[in-house]
Amino acid sequence: MCANAVEVADLFCLYPVPGGTVAALRGLSLSVAAGERLVVHGPNGSGKTTLLRVLAGEVAPSAGTVSVAGVDLAGADETTRSQLRLTRLGIVDQHSARALRPEIDVTDNVGLQLRLAGVRRADARRRAVEALDRLDLGHLAQRRPATLSGGEAQRVAVCAALAHEPTVVLADEPTGELDLASADAVYELLASAAAAIGATLLLVTHDHRAARIADRVVRIRDGRLSEQWAPHAPDDELLVVDDRGWVRLPESMRRDAGAQRAVRAIATDGRIVLDGADEVGVAAPNPTPTARTAPSSPVAELHGVRVAYGDRIVLNDLDLDVCAGALTLIRGRSGSGKSTVLRVLTGLADPDVGQAVLAGVELGTLHRSARADLRREHVAVAGQGGALAEPMDVIENLALARVARGLAPDPDLIDKIVESLSLTALRTRAVRLLSGGERQRVAVARSLVVERPLVVLDEPTSSQDEAHAEILARVLAEAAAVGRAVLCATHDPVLAAVADTARTLD
């Protein structure tokens, strides 16, 4: 082991795109000490996820040096990278469904990486049970992932990532889809579990509350490290000068200095003070609010719906009206049934008791293909995964969505929606090269571009930084204002601030 668990110097990561290349990382340097807990912030598209993928050996650096747990990844072959992931890394994804196999119980899921490393099943299960007990999750050992709440599933995913006692733990937005209480539980588990085995923790998130478990917080902008601070002294934020002498000025600092294109640095009393040297541009006026359409009769309804998974009742005697002209939210703790409401309302799952009505048709009376036809005519859905056509670019994905619905091409509509969701600069980029937040906005754009009466979205802002969450919330409110029924399952207070109505599940 080297002194630092993670050592990155002058790291570049380039992706080919039509007409050139995109630099996701631009000379980033970062050192993380053994046993340190580091939280990484940054806006969508800043390079956070690319950094994690490089550290995990999934993406090769274009230039620079990278060492993780003593393994030099610059130029490493696939066997070396695979062995690193198998034995020395623990990886926690935002979506627990990617980490947990639905066909096996929690114990076998936690022991899966041990099995992949060659440990016999009996020994792997024993060590998995020990890990679950150590993290106070033993009561979940015999459960299947489908029966777990969102918070439970993510804590099990954390246990699965750490059961083989890795040297470095990489976590990518692990609480993006959880309520505050469940998120806090996951943070505490990550911190305590990493400390128990002496692992280094590198946590990427938009959630500022994650600082509560950090030794240090850094921010990435435009593919470079820009700022860092200690959680106990958040006001003592330092700008980072990288190996090439670059300093990334935060937007707020540029604005306070009165400059957007140029800034003067003045040395005074041993400190550098910024002064506006070239004040340019005038703040754009607030757009004229869209005239709202008064909410009308329901587009979709639930009447007395009850859903249970085994002995656990998820929904009980639920009534819900989703009206045109309104942005409706489903809120509640993780595992309260928000996603289940969306599935029942769109005919993807049946209630044990009660009725689901879509466009005036009771879904229980329709067979599978008829339900699909009804959805195709009336509903646009953006789920948590946001499945997109990976090789296609943003515009092609949106055009494909219209073609699949039998709609005529409408480049002007597509351009309007792309611009409204701050995707214009990415319009010709393949979605496989986009960040998680950018992909999520493309999925929302796809749900809007097909012009269905009902738009159903599951946690649409879970991967967004604060600025883009506000953009997305405004776009959804505007879609409702012109007459669509927009239904979101969410924990996000940014969406709650613009919603017309909200239903909180117990």
Q: Give Cα separations from 431 to 57, 89, 93, 338 (angstroms).
A: 21, 27, 19, 28
User: What letters, b where the CB count within 10 A reaches 16 and e where it falls short, cover 406-444?
Assistant: eeeeeeebbeebbebbbbeebbebbbebbbbbbbbbbbb
At 248, list the tokens.
């990334």
- What does the CA dihedral 480, 486, 487, 489 come to, rounded to 10 degrees? -80
Q: Could you tell me where the DSSP H helices lie in 383-435?
A: 394-404, 411-420
Higher-pLDDT residue of 372 and 296 is 372
Question: Given a cut of 70, is residue 304 above it in pLDDT?
Answer: yes
**pLDDT tens column, 146-177:** 888 888 889 999 999 999 999 999 999 998 87
When the pLDDT of each residue in the chain is averaged and rounded to a whole number, the result is: 87
Indicate the pLDDT class of residue 248, thresholds 50, 70 and 90.
low
Instruction: Name the CATH superfamily housing domain 33-62+75-229.
Output: P-loop containing nucleotide triphosphate hydrolases (3.40.50.300)
The yes or no reply on domain 298-504 and CATH 3.40.50.1170 is no
Domain 33-62+75-229 shares a fold with domain 298-504: yes
Q: How far apart are CA 403 and CA 399, in angstroms?
A: 6
User: What pLDDT is recorded for position 463?
Assistant: 87
Residues β-bridged to residue 320:
302
Structural Rg of the chain based on CA atoms: 24
> What average pLDDT does the segment 35-60 reach?
92
> What average pLDDT does the segment 223-252 reach?
73
Higher-pLDDT residue of 290 and 320 is 320
Higher-pLDDT residue of 387 and 381 is 381
User: What pLDDT is recorded for position 237?
Assistant: 67
User: What pLDDT is recorded for position 3?
Assistant: 75
3-class DSSP state of 468: helix
User: What pLDDT is recorded for position 282?
Assistant: 34
User: What pLDDT is recorded for position 326?
Assistant: 96
Q: Could you tell me where the DSSP H helices lie in 358-465?
A: 368-378, 394-404, 411-420, 436-449
Q: How far apart are CA 162 and CA 89, in angstroms?
A: 8
> What average pLDDT does the segment 377-406 reach?
90
C-beta of residue 276 within 8 angstroms of C-beta of residue 259: yes
3-class DSSP state of 368: helix
Question: Given a cut of 60, is residue 268 above it in pLDDT?
Answer: no
Residues β-bridged to residue 157:
none
Which percentage of the chain shows pLDDT scores above 70?
87
At 356, list the tokens.
């689901």
**Nearest CA among 80, 347, 70, 32 for reference residue 203:** 32
Please report where in the chains the tokens 């405004």 appear, as a residue.
474
Indicate the pLDDT class of residue 288, thresholds 50, 70 and 90.
very low
Q: Among 10-24, 217-231, 355-369, which range has the highest average pLDDT?
A: 355-369
Q: Where are the domains of the chain?
A: 33-62+75-229, 251-283, 298-504
**Nearest CA among 435, 438, 457, 452 for reference residue 401:** 452
Q: What is the DSSP string of 64-130?
A: EEEEETTEE-TT--HHHHHHHHHHTEEEE-S-GGGTS-TTS-HHHHHTHHHHHTT--HHHHHHHHHH
Please report where in the chains the tokens 């009561």 appear, as a residue.
139
Q: How far apart are CA 173 and CA 461, in angstroms?
A: 12
User: What pLDDT is recorded for position 195?
Assistant: 94
pTM: 0.76
User: What pLDDT is recorded for position 21?
Assistant: 80
Out of 135-139, 285-289, 312-316, least confident range: 285-289
3-class DSSP state of 7: strand
> What average pLDDT does the segment 385-404 reach?
90
Question: Given a cut of 90, is residue 69 above it in pLDDT?
Answer: yes
- The CB density around residue 65, as the number of other CB atoms within 10 Å, is 15
Q: Give Cα separations from 137 to 141, 152, 166, 213, 352 (angstroms).
A: 7, 9, 19, 20, 29
Question: Given a cut of 90, is residue 378 above it in pLDDT?
Answer: yes
Indicate the pLDDT class of residue 247, thresholds 50, 70 and 90.
low
* Pairing mode, strands 238-239 and 224-229: antiparallel
Indicate the pLDDT class of residue 123, thresholds 50, 70 and 90.
very high
User: What pLDDT is recorded for position 251?
Assistant: 59
Q: Give Cα separations from 370 to 86, 335, 347, 378, 493 (angstroms).
A: 46, 30, 10, 12, 36
Out of 65-79, 99-113, 219-233, least confident range: 219-233
User: What pLDDT is recorded for position 286?
Assistant: 44
> What average pLDDT does the segment 211-238 reach?
86
